[in-house]
Amino acid sequence: MLINHPLLGPRDAAEFTCFGDASLLLRPDPGPNGEPDQAAMDAFHDYLHLRDNPAGTHQELWYHEQGDRSWLVVTRDTINHSIIKVELARNVKARNLKTREGAG
Amino acid sequence: MRYSVFSILNQALRGNTGWKPVWREPEPRPAYDIIIVGGGGHGLATAYYLSNVYGITNVAVLEKGYLGSGNIGRNTTIIRSNYLLDGNEPFYEMSLKLWEGLEQDFNYNAMVSQRGVLNLYHSDGQRDAYARRGNAMILNGADAELIDQDRVRAMYPFLDFDNGRFPIQGGLLQRRGGSVRHDGVAWGYARGADSRGVDIIQHCEVQGFIMEGGTCVGVETSRGPIRANRVGVAAAGSSSRVMEQAGMRLPIESHVLQAFVSEGLKPIIPGVITYGAGHFYISQSDKGGLVFGGDIDGYNSYAQRGNLPILEHVCEGGMALMPAIGKARMVRSWGGIMDMSMDGSPIIDRTPIDGLYLNAGWCYGGFKATPASGYCFAHLLATGEPHDNAAAYRLDRFRSGAVIDEKGSGAQPNLH
């Protein structure tokens, strides 16, 4: 697989380590006043252990360990391994936070 | 028809014209006591033990493709029970004991070959860890021998004992481990279940669950709705896709694991060898091909094929262990989809939905577990209570904290 790095251009996937579902970027809040209640515990359990694990389009974290050490969000098809979109993880996270604040 | 010396002689005299298909191809009935989703090794074994041990024969096994089209036909056929933790070792030893009596039990030649599994160690620390593991195995009724370099050398003189980085100091040998003809396992269980009246329905894809008042009372399939008192899902790499239809998210990621076969060679490796300094293992099939494999590719996949970097990685492990392997030509590779659980251990449990049961999370170790997995899942489906040997394989253990961290890696690729 070739990953089209937004800064470096196409790079061999072997330079990267995949860290799984990109929803890991959105760690849930610990709960009111930093004291986790049951809802917060449930949210953290789901965040840490449960996965959508889709057959098809999947957003995932790839860390450029053997390169510039950037974190990327790669949108990839798990059925045929084709790569649809590559973004810097920090941009995705900023966008996610904005959406979450907007929703909250 | 029972297989025996006499049936073979009888058929030989009649020109082998009397052999019949060993299972029926029934149309699905409108309702069953129990439906098993997934006609792979674990699903068929579950149906077999339900009908033969627990006396429940009004059972259907629904398979999306053909029998044995999933991981039961795509693995490296190794059986062993060399685990450390209490939650695991009794279960895997139960499995190995079932393997030992399997062919007599289901009257089918699965070519169970107890040729010995040898885990090599390369450092003092690793030797001590293997000694501890061997003791845990013996305490659970399994066999284990810690052997030194001289004895390994007598068994496998061609290994790279004086490797500059990872010299071989010895190994942990389980003589009762070995290999099995993987397709034969699926066919034998299918035949044994079918002969007791279990309906094995191929090309029947489950497309949803029928829920009534929060209870699962059947499945929607590509061949119409089928009702059941209990539904057990044993869908391996597709577990998440199936359970999603019941609105459940699982602690599982699906990853691709590759395996490789060389051209046929004269007998050179009598048993199974695993490398202790990298993820590589090798055995030789009865046809002569060297069968070897290593790590998962390390990214979510449903593709049943992998990429080249892991092939290179596996071959490097092979060359470090056994330089002679470099002379052999590789002829085949394939990939299977592994249901990687978050702690690397399986799940055999009820779900929060009444009437729906789950058997999943086998990671890359499901084949050796086939008999015990089927037995324990059948016990759960028949009695509603977990079998003693599978009592630790809870679905909610990530919430309770009672994880089984045998290897402590799970699906996280950077930990492999």
The ipTM (two decimal places) reads 0.93
Residue A15 with chain B: CB contacts under 8 Å: none
Distance between CA atoms of residues A31 and B219, nearest Å: 39
Q: Which domain CATH number covers A53?
A: 3.30.2270.10
pLDDT at B416 (0 to 100): 58
pLDDT at position A37, please? 87
Residue linked to tokens 């699982």? B250
Cβ <8 Å between A17 and B241: no
Contact by Cβ (8 Å): B22, B219: no
Range of the domain at A62: 2-103
User: How many domains does chain A divide into?
Assistant: 1
**Which chain A residues touch B409 with a CB distance below 8 Å?**
none
Quick one: average pLDDT of B352-361? 97
- In whole angstroms, give the CA distance from residue B69 to residue B213: 35
Kindly tell me if the per-residue pLDDT of A46 is higher than 90: yes
**In chain B, which among 190-229 make CB contacts under 8 A with chain A?**
none
Rounded-to-integer distance, Cα B68 and Cα B342, Å: 26
Alpha-carbon span B114 to B180, nearest angstrom: 8
Coil, strand or helix: which one is B379?
helix
Mean pLDDT to the nearest integer, B12-17: 93
Q: What is the pLDDT of residues B195-254, one digit of tens each?
A: 999 999 999 999 999 999 999 999 999 999 999 999 999 999 999 999 999 999 999 999
Q: What are phi and psi of B42, to 5 degrees?
A: -70, -40
Question: How far is Cα B186 from Cα B288, in angstroms, rounded to an integer?
Answer: 22
At residue B414, the pLDDT reads: 57
At B328-354, the pLDDT tens digits run 999 999 999 999 999 999 999 999 999
Q: Are B377 and B46 in contact (CB under 8 A)?
A: yes
Contact B252 A81 (CB under 8 A): no
Share of chain B above pLDDT 90, in %: 95
Distance CA B116, CA B144 (A): 10
Listed in sequence order, the residues at least 6 apart from B109 whose beta carbon sits closer than 8 Å to its beta carbon are B3, B103, B181, B184, B188
- Asked if the Cβ–Cβ distance from A53 to B252 is below 8 Å, we say yes
Chain B residues close to A80, C-beta within 8 Å: 303
B114 has a chain A CB within 8 A of its CB? no
What is the pLDDT at residue A30? 80
Chain-chain contact of A46 with B249 (C-beta, under 8 angstroms): yes
Residue B139: how many CB atoms within 10 A of its CB?
12
Q: Which residue has the tokens 């239809």?
A: B245
Report chain A residues whose CB lies below 8 A from the CB of B399. 45, 49
pLDDT at residue B379 tops 60:
yes
Q: A53, B240: Cβ pair inside 8 Å?
A: yes
Predicted confidence band at B287 (pLDDT cuts at 50, 70, 90)?
Answer: very high
**Cα three-residue angle B337-B343-B348, rounded to 5 degrees:** 70
Residue B106: its H or E element: helix B89-106
With a cut of 80, say whether residue B407 has pLDDT above it: no
Mean pLDDT of the B356-370 span: 96
B302 interface with A at CB cutoff 8 Å: yes
What distance in Å separates the CA atoms of residue B285 and residue B114, rounded to the nearest whole number?
13
**How crowded is residue A28: how many other Cβ atoms within 10 Å of its Cβ?**
17
State residue B154's pLDDT score.
97
CB within 8 A of A97, min separation 6: which ones? none
Partners of A58 in the β-ladder: A76
- The separation between the first and the last C-alpha atoms of chain A, rounded to the nearest angstrom, is 38
- Can you give the pLDDT at residue B408? 63
Q: Coil, strand or helix: which one is A9?
A: strand
Closest of B253, B225, B242, B254 to residue B351, by C-alpha: B242
Of B16-20, B171-175, B196-200, B408-412, least confident by mean pLDDT is: B408-412
State how far the Cα of B217 lies from the Cα of B356, in Å rounded to an integer.
Answer: 8
Closest CA to B235 of B213, B254, B222, B259: B254
* Domain ranges for chain B: 27-77+182-251+343-415, 112-175+253-341
Pick from B309, B342, B413: CB nearest A14: B309
Query: B297 vs chain A: nearest CA distance in angstroms?
Result: 10
* Per-residue model confidence as pLDDT tens digits over B21-79: 999 999 999 999 999 999 999 999 999 999 999 999 999 999 999 998 999 999 999 99
Tokens 């978050």, located at residue: B342
CA distance A57 to chain B (A): 11
Alpha-carbon span B405 to B198, nearest angstrom: 36
Two structure tokens written together for A22: 């990109």
Handedness of CA B396, B402, B403, B406 (dihedral sign): negative
CATH architecture of B27-77+182-251+343-415: 3-Layer(bba) Sandwich (3.50)
Q: Which residue has the tokens 């890991």?
A: A24
Instruction: Note the pLDDT of residue B412.
Output: 72
Structure confidence at residue B415 as a pLDDT band (50, 70, 90): low
B395 in contact with A at a CB cutoff of 8 Å?
Answer: no
Q: At residue B309, what is the residue type?
A: P
Please answer yes or no on whether A49 and B302 come within 8 Å at the CB atom.
no
Token couple for A41: 């515990």
Q: What is the rounded CA–CA span in Å between residue B147 and residue A26? A: 50
Name the fold adopted by B112-175+253-341: D-Amino Acid Oxidase; Chain A, domain 2 (3.30.9)
